[in-house]
Amino acid sequence: MTSSGPSPRKIKRVEEDLTNSDSSDDDDQQDGLAETTRQALSDLHDCQNELNALHRKGLRANFQVKTKYNKLRKPHYDKRATFIEKIPNLWHKAILKNPKVQALLDDGDGDCLQFLKKLEVEELENADDGFRIKFIFYENPFFENEELVKEFQLDPYGELINKFHRGF
């Protein structure tokens, strides 16, 4: 049988050395260690504050860049939407052909999607928090609302946390 670590005899010898040492030296060492620890904790706190400030600055810069490019993309999205509207049943076909989206649909949803005129996706105020999908319909026999909205919130890892529905 093999053992790991020091033998009981060695442990006892170390304990005796510690208890027999000059107590004033121990106090000085403990005071020095305590001061070193306090200083390290203070330095760590300062460093973390600097990192937090840099992180906030990065988030603001990231938000500004996203906002800028969202505004630049908007006219292109609007232009693209006019072309899409000219293609009959494009959204209906696109949605039903997408396995991930199709898995979210109930049995009768496919029929009402034939009346889907336009689909818009908007980011929430803070894009990292989620997005909103607007379904804009032609007049149809399924519901009176012209517009249905689903809002999706995301956790910090980009995973869906919940859905909010308006217009259903």
d(C-alpha 157, C-alpha 6), whole Å: 46
β-partners of residue 75 are none
pLDDT at 163: 56
Where on the phi/psi map is residue 158: left (φ > 0), alpha (ψ -120 to 50), or beta?
Answer: left
Tell me the C-alpha distance between 43 and 131, whole Å. 40
Distance between CA atoms of 16 and 12, rounded to whole angstroms? 6
Each residue's pLDDT, cut to its tens digit, for the chain (168 residues) gives: 445 555 556 555 544 554 555 555 667 777 878 889 999 999 999 999 999 999 999 988 988 898 899 889 999 999 998 999 899 889 888 988 988 888 878 877 888 888 998 988 888 877 678 888 899 999 999 989 999 998 888 887 777 786 555 554
Domain locations in the chain as residue ranges: 8-54, 87-166
Task: Return the ∠ at Cα 161 (arms to 159 and 164), rounded to 5°.
Answer: 130
Q: Which CATH superfamily is domain 87-166 in?
A: Nucleosome assembly protein (3.30.1120.90)
Whether this prediction's pTM lies above 0.75 is answered by no
The H or E element that residue 43 is part of is helix 23-85
Measured from the Cβ of residue 116, the count of other Cβ atoms closer than 10 Å reads: 19
